[in-house]
Structure 1
């Protein structure tokens, strides 16, 4: 038996387009994984179901096929919409179901910002709102590499039943995803201050990167400065590098290293948030430590050894 999209969105089968939107907005905000730190897996499953249901019921063609043939018929690719919306319809003899990304749908409604770029400004145009409250969210590179969950206690101005301003304390759960960059903005709609005569403003946390003792981030790459002796630069060296998730990886330096030269270790940089399973690179830059002085005997030995190869 197929999935009942109407039941998931708590709708009747004659629900209007506006009914579908209202129900999605209410349920998506309730079950978004970032707002359910305790039961994240259950929330993720429900959130995906809600998003898929909205994707189908908000699209006239998908909804038409679903109403006639159910979920299995919709996804089978065997049926086109019975009556195309216009004569230029390109569905031909079948309809291919391509579900949209759940987060993309969510961002369309709630105006989530990412890296300073507005994905959608519809929320801002929906009516007069109180000013946005922005606050920095300092994160270590380890947190941005592995992902983490934070609980942030906030204080905000709200209105009581009589419309009088009061201070409210609240704890928000933030799910930091692997690969997020400095400047990524996490929006909590209507969790800012609430002023008389306007809707509550949004609260936005802006990711900031804490300095790291070993690595520096450059987009999706990690840069590491490694100082080695002149002897090691000439003869080779085996390095052991501890990654941000605690692994020790071996890096063999077998060729002659010149000052400022770098070695690239592929796929050992930061996770790429939009491409799960892919990472940037680790770039090891070498600083060759030259001896402060050489004895006459050492100079003679070097001339003898290196003279023929120069």
Structure 2
């Protein structure tokens, strides 16, 4: 049979017209030479073969001859099944001849495009040539969703959704599963509701306001490119830590005696470790103890972290006896 047109279009031998159209749309977009500037020669050959396969299989008469006599039967002007005659014969076969169309003509006819621009190659004998620009491929995308192919498709505005994340999520990184419902056009162009699970990979150190975009996951409509779905990271309040850029800030309540004589802070980190931080300096209300490398991961290099900053809330006594006041004066006098 020569080339297997069904394999070329990646369809079953029982494929109907809608399935052939869908397969051609997908493959023509992938292999059009103007979409493959770095691999143009191979793309041109593939594009031509895809177009030939669609031209034959989408035509009931050509398809019937191909299935009975193969590609050779088409090239030898085989008669349609039931018309009598055989490939190469001189009787009824003369009434049918396979005239393959050019790949560009099939592409233009299929999507309703007229050739948008013409140019002449270095050899004038080669005749006119044309390219599909980016606006034409935008129209092509509209055609794949049932839009008007002759008018460049517009894209709907992005749909933005908040994505609440705990500080632990942003510290360690996590995968979140989100179920979405949207309308998708079926083969007849009718919107059909579908549910889909999206996986969102939260990376260690991501900040509030980070955007994760899923391209064209909005509702599909005729002639409109679906909206992008954008999730925006939102940081939930934490009962212990506050975030300041890549640093973490924690507050410790201490007594005045501890502030003056020394204090050992114990902090449970966001990944469950307990770290002990001895503070030997006199702790004033504005004092801050810095523990390097115990803050949030730095997104561009998660092996590095910001700092942990320990601040102190000093509880002063509500009153002092005369004896306590005298003792403090003696101790603190120069």
- Per the TM superposition, whether the score is higher than 0.5 is yes
RMSD: 2.2
The question of whether the paired residues in 2 share the 8 Å contact of 1:260 and 1:287 is answered with no
* 1:1-310 equivalence runs, <5 A: 16-17=36-37, 128-308=154-334
- Give me the whole-angstrom Cα distance separating, in 2, the residues matched to 1:131 and 1:307: 71
5+ long unaligned stretches in structure 1: 1-9, 24-125
Secondary structure at 2:264 match in 1: strand
* Paired position in structure 2 for 1:68: none
Q: Deviations over 1:223-263 (max 9, x none)?
A: 11222110000000111100111111111110101002111
Q: Deviations over 1:80-119 (max 9, x none)?
A: xxxxxxxxxxxxxxxxxxxxxxxxxxxxxxxxxxxxxxxx
Secondary structure at 2:313 match in 1: strand
Secondary structure at 1:179 match in 2: coil
Q: 1:306 offset after TM fit, Å? A: 1.4
- Report the TM-score, using the length of structure 1 for normalisation: 0.58
| More relative contact order, 1 or 2 (CA 8 Å, 6+ apart) | 1
- Give me the whole-angstrom Cα distance separating, in 2, the residues matched to 1:127 and 1:233: 68
Q: Deviations over 1:134-193 (max 9, x none)?
A: 101000000000001111111122222222223221111111110000000001111122
Secondary structure at 1:158 match in 2: strand
Q: 1:128 offset after TM fit, Å? A: 2.0
5+ long unaligned stretches in structure 2: 1-29, 44-151
Q: Would the alpha carbon gap of residues 156 and 19 (structure 1) be closer, same or farther in structure 2, given more than 3 Å must change?
A: farther
Structure whose alpha-carbon radius of gyration is higher: 2
Secondary structure at 2:302 match in 1: coil
- Give me the whole-angstrom Cα distance separating, in 2, the residues matched to 1:289 and 1:197: 68
- Give me the whole-angstrom Cα distance separating, in 1, the residues matched to 2:213 and 2:38: 24
The question of whether the paired residues in 2 share the 8 Å contact of 1:131 and 1:193 is answered with no
* Paired position in structure 2 for 1:103: none
* Paired position in structure 1 for 2:72: none
The question of whether the paired residues in 2 share the 8 Å contact of 1:233 and 1:288 is answered with yes
* Paired position in structure 2 for 1:56: none
Secondary structure at 2:233 match in 1: strand
- Give me the whole-angstrom Cα distance separating, in 2, the residues matched to 1:222 and 1:195: 46
Count residues in correspondence.
192
The question of whether the paired residues in 2 share the 8 Å contact of 1:130 and 1:201 is answered with yes
Q: Would the alpha carbon gap of residues 203 and 19 (structure 1) be closer, same or farther in structure 2, given more than 3 Å must change?
A: farther
- Report the TM-score, using the length of structure 2 for normalisation: 0.54
- The runs of at least 4 aligned residues of structure 1 exceeding 6 Å deviation read none
Q: 1:16 offset after TM fit, Å? A: 4.4
* Paired position in structure 2 for 1:70: none
Secondary structure at 1:277 match in 2: strand
